[in-house]
DNA sequence: CCTGGAGTTGTCCTA
DNA sequence: TTAGGACAACTCCAG
């Protein structure tokens, strides 16, 4: 009779340190088999040159190398998670499966199926809070309904953090519990149907830069400075611990900590109002009939609108999988308010292109920009892309970095005149929002 | 239930 | 030149 084992299933938590579910698995008393599954339900929708798969792959290799001296390494599989885990339970004597919570609608449905399959085999499925400090109903109003305004949410969040503290889950101290033995090498990217691509966002592993955090509030709005943390992708895939980030924010930068609270705010919004994935948080905004001109959309995507800040941002996104936050607001406002294109089109484009794409933040911020969301910018607050340029890239450093033909005849004229677009937006929004 | 203050990140116009 | 109100009221939230 072989000795029973537990599986730790990595999903959005690709790290060995301060990992809640992994920590609990390592303390379970059983040997731990670390597993990652490339989910074909997700991968089949991605183009072969998607930049996120190399990011994940890179970090899996790093985890594997770290584990090798003391264990078998990480077992990396490819397929539908329910069937993959089912076959693992056929091939190994599995006592239970451990993982961390994932709050997205797809993940919730998947985990439910996994749990039922395991249950039918007498195997328990244990999951833990890891990617946020507070989840589900932990930060709600006194009548236990969810907050839909950020500021009071953040006040209670901060208060709870002070009262309860930030827990540690030192999984890195329990390395003796990994299953030993020999496993195959990891699949190559080409085995998964993806091409390698050079990574700009941190091959060397995540680093919280105290200097950037200390000056974050002053610097963060100037895209040319590159003084944002660029930790979004690490937070998305869990290659950094959010608790470590929160501790750093607490120590060095209230402004950045606030951004982490926004992240949790939008995660809770998606949790409590899953319909936002498909429609406006405020239902009356679903009445808006968008122009949705495909030529305009194409020009926006390609960075050919004739508005330098918009175009620079869209080209940065295409080239790097990243866009500076200030510029994200400008391009999102331009698409929805100047071009009157459905925010869901822009949301989908970002979802395809952003390395740091995360459903709840992307959705929440697009709805914020479009004015359709909870606690959103009022619809009459319309960014002027030229004013934004003057304020935040007056010396055109960011613009020239991404638009080599800027200032030549090659660069297009604005596809729409600002004051005309502004008035049109105000009239269209007010028309459809009238009761 | 009532009440009053507040609400991420703007822009434009007028005095 | 600059400061302040308009933009639209409305809903949320805490006391």
Residue-wise DSSP of A69-116: GGSS--EEEEE-HHHHHHHHHHHS-EEEEEEE---SHHHHHHHHHHHH
A305 vs A184, higher pLDDT: A305
Residue A433 is predicted with a pLDDT of: 86
Six-digit token pair at A102? Answer: 């994932």
Global pTM reads 0.96
> A220-233 pLDDT, tens per residue?
999 999 999 999 99
Q: Which nucleotide is nearest to A365 (CA to C1')?
A: B8
- Each domain of chain A, given as residue ranges in start order, spans 1-130, 132-167+209-272, 275-433
Six-digit token pair at A239? Answer: 């290659």
Given the DSSP bridges, would you call strands A94-100 and A75-79 parallel, antiparallel or unpaired?
Answer: unpaired
Please tell me whether any atom of strand B lies within 7 Å of the Cβ of A365: yes
Among the listed ranges A4-18, A245-259, A336-350, A375-389, which one has the minimum average pLDDT value? Answer: A375-389
Please tell me whether any atom of strand B lies within 7 Å of the Cβ of A384: yes
Q: CATH topology for A132-167+209-272?
A: 1.25.40
Residue A108: phi, psi to the nearest 5?
Answer: -65, -40
Of the CA atoms within 13 Å of residue A89, those in its CB half-sphere come to 22
Q: H helices within A168-253, ranges in order?
A: 210-214, 216-219, 232-237, 242-252
Q: Which nucleotide is nearest to A263 (CA to C1')?
A: B8
CA-nearest of A354, A336, A248, A216 to A285 is A336
Q: Which nucleotide is nearest to A388 (CA to C1')?
A: B10
Q: Which nucleotides of B are covered by protein (CB under 7 A)?
A: 6-13
> A406-426 pLDDT, tens per residue?
999 999 999 999 999 999 999
Q: What percent of chain A has pLDDT over 70?
A: 98
Query: Which 305-344 residues of chain A approach strand B with CB closer than 7 Å?
Result: 325-326, 329
Local structure of residue A180 (DSSP, 8 states): P
Kindly report the number of other CB atoms within 10 A of residue A184's CB atom. Answer: 9
Calculate the angstrom distance between C1' of C3 and CA of A425: 27
> A170-183 pLDDT, tens per residue?
999 999 999 998 87
Residue A184 is predicted with a pLDDT of: 78
Buried b (16+ CB within 10 A) or exposed e, A103-113: bbeebeebbee
Among the listed ranges A190-194, A263-267, A375-379, which one has the minimum average pLDDT value? Answer: A375-379
Q: Give the architecture-level CATH label for domain A1-130.
A: 3-Layer(aba) Sandwich (3.40)
**Secondary structure class of A36 (helix, strand, coil):** strand
CA distance A41 to A43: 6
Residue found under tokens 């936002």: A276
CA distance A82 to A249: 38
Please tell me whether any atom of strand B lies within 7 Å of the Cβ of A217: no
Residue A197 is predicted with a pLDDT of: 82
> A78-90 pLDDT, tens per residue?
999 999 999 999 9
Read off the pLDDT of each residue in A229-251 and give the average, rounded to a whole number: 96
The answer to whether A95 and A5 have CB atoms below 8 angstroms apart is: yes
**Secondary structure class of A220 (helix, strand, coil):** coil
Please tell me whether any atom of strand B lies within 7 Å of the Cβ of A63: no
Residue A204 is predicted with a pLDDT of: 59
Please tell me whether any atom of strand B lies within 7 Å of the Cβ of A383: yes
CA distance A130 to A430: 42
Q: Which nucleotide is nearest to A381 (CA to C1')?
A: B10
* pLDDT exceeds 60 at position A337: yes
Question: What are residue A406's DSSP bridge partners?
Answer: none
Q: What percent of chain A has pLDDT over 90?
A: 90
Query: Which 106-135 residues of chain A approach strand B with CB closer than 7 Å?
Result: none
Q: What is the 3-state secondary structure (H, E, C) of A288-329?
A: CCCCCCHHHHHHHHHCCCCCHHHHHHHHHHHHHCCCCHHHHH
Residue A55 is predicted with a pLDDT of: 94
Among the listed ranges A201-210, A259-268, A353-362, A404-413, which one has the minimum average pLDDT value? Answer: A201-210
Please tell me whether any atom of strand C lies within 7 Å of the Cβ of A188: no
Q: Nearest protein residue to C6's C1' (by CA)?
A: A380
Please tell me whether any atom of strand C lies within 7 Å of the Cβ of A147: yes
Q: Which nucleotide is nearest to A153 (CA to C1')?
A: C13
pLDDT, mean over chain A:
94
CA gyration radius, chain A: 23
* pLDDT exceeds 90 at position A199: no
Calculate the angstrom distance between C1' of C1 and CA of A391: 18
Q: Which nucleotides of C are covered by protein (CB under 7 A)?
A: 7-9, 12-14
Residue A206 is predicted with a pLDDT of: 64
Q: Which nucleotide is nearest to A429 (CA to C1')?
A: C8
Calculate the angstrom distance between C1' of C6 and CA of A73: 63
* pLDDT exceeds 60 at position A203: no
Please, which pLDDT band fits residue A70 given cuts at 50, 70 and 90?
confident
Q: Which nucleotide is nearest to A325 (CA to C1')?
A: B9
Residue A237 is predicted with a pLDDT of: 97
* pLDDT exceeds 70 at position A1: no
Calculate the angstrom distance between C1' of B13 and CA of A378: 19
Six-digit token pair at A30? Answer: 């059983």
User: How many angstroms from the chain centroid is the CA of residue A269?
Assistant: 15
**Secondary structure class of A178 (helix, strand, coil):** strand
Please tell me whether any atom of strand B lies within 7 Å of the Cβ of A354: no
Q: Which nucleotide is nearest to A422 (CA to C1')?
A: B11
The answer to whether A332 and A383 have CB atoms below 8 angstroms apart is: no
* pLDDT exceeds 70 at position A200: no
> A130-167 pLDDT, tens per residue?
999 999 999 999 999 999 999 999 999 999 999 999 99
Q: Give the architecture-level CATH label for domain A275-433.
A: Orthogonal Bundle (1.10)
Residue found under tokens 């890891």: A130
CA-nearest of A407, A392, A404, A387 to A224 is A392
Calculate the angstrom distance between C1' of B8 and CA of A134: 21
Query: Which 132-151 residues of chain A approach strand B with CB closer than 7 Å?
Result: 149-151
Distances (CA, A) of A267 to A137, A228, A262: 11, 21, 8
Please tell me whether any atom of strand B lies within 7 Å of the Cβ of A429: no
Please, which pLDDT band fits residue A379 given cuts at 50, 70 and 90?
confident
Residue A309 is predicted with a pLDDT of: 96
The answer to whether A222 and A393 have CB atoms below 8 angstroms apart is: yes
* pLDDT exceeds 80 at position A357: yes
A198 vs A84, higher pLDDT: A84
The answer to whether A18 and A164 have CB atoms below 8 angstroms apart is: no
């Amino acid at each position: 009779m072989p000795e029973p084992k537990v599986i730790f299933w990595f999903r959005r938590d690709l790290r060995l340190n301060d990992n809640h579910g992994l920590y609990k698995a390592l303390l379970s008393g059983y040997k731990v088999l670390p597993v990652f599954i490339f989910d074909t339900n997700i991968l089949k929708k991605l183009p072969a040159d998607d930049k996120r798969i190399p990011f994940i792959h890179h970090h899996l290799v790093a985890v594997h190398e770290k584990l090798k001296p003391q264990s078998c390494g990480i077992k990396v599989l490819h397929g539908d998670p329910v069937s993959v885990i089912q076959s693992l339970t056929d091939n190994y004597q599995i006592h239970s499966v451990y993982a961390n919570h994932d709050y997205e609608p797809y993940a919730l449905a998947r985990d439910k199926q996994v749990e039922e399959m395991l249950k039918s085999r007498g195997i328990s499925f244990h999951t833990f809070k890891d990617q946020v400090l507070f989840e589900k109903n932990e930060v709600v109003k006194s009548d236990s309904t969810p907050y839909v305004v950020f500021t009071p949410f953040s006040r209670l969040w901060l208060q709870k953090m002070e009262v309860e503290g930030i827990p540690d889950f030192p999984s890195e101290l329990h390395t003796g519990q990994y299953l030993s033995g020999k496993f195959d090498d990891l699949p190559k990217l080409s085995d998964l149907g993806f091409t390698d691509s050079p990574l700009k966002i941190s091959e060397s592993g995540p680093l919280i830069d105290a200097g950037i955090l200390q000056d974050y509030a002053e610097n963060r709005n100037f895209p040319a400075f590159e003084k944002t943390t660029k930790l979004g992708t690490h937070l998305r895939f869990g290659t950094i611990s959010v608790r470590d980030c929160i501790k750093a924010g607490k120590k060095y930068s209230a402004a950045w900590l606030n951004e982490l609270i926004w992240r949790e705010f939008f995660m809770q919004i998606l949790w409590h109002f899953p319909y936002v994935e498909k429609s406006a948080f405020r239902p009356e905004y679903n009445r808006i009939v968008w122009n949705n001109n495909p030529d305009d959309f194409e020009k926006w995507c390609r960075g050919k609108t004739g508005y330098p800040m918009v175009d620079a941002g869209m080209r940065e996104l295409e080239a790097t999988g990243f866009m500076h936050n200030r510029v994200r607001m400008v391009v999102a406002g331009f698409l929805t308010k100047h071009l009157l294109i459905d925010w869901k089109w822009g949301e989908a484009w970002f979802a395809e292109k952003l390395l740091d794409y995360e459903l709840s933040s992307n959705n929440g911020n697009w709805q914020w920009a479009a004015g359709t969301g909870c606690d959103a910018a009022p619809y009459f607050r319309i960014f002027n892309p030229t004013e934004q340029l003057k304020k935040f890239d007056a010396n055109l450093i960011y613009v020239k970095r991404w638009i080599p033909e800027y200032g030549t005849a090659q660069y297009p004229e604005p596809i729409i005149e600002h004051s005309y677009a502004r008035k049109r937006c105000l009239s269209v929004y007010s028309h459809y929002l009238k009761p």
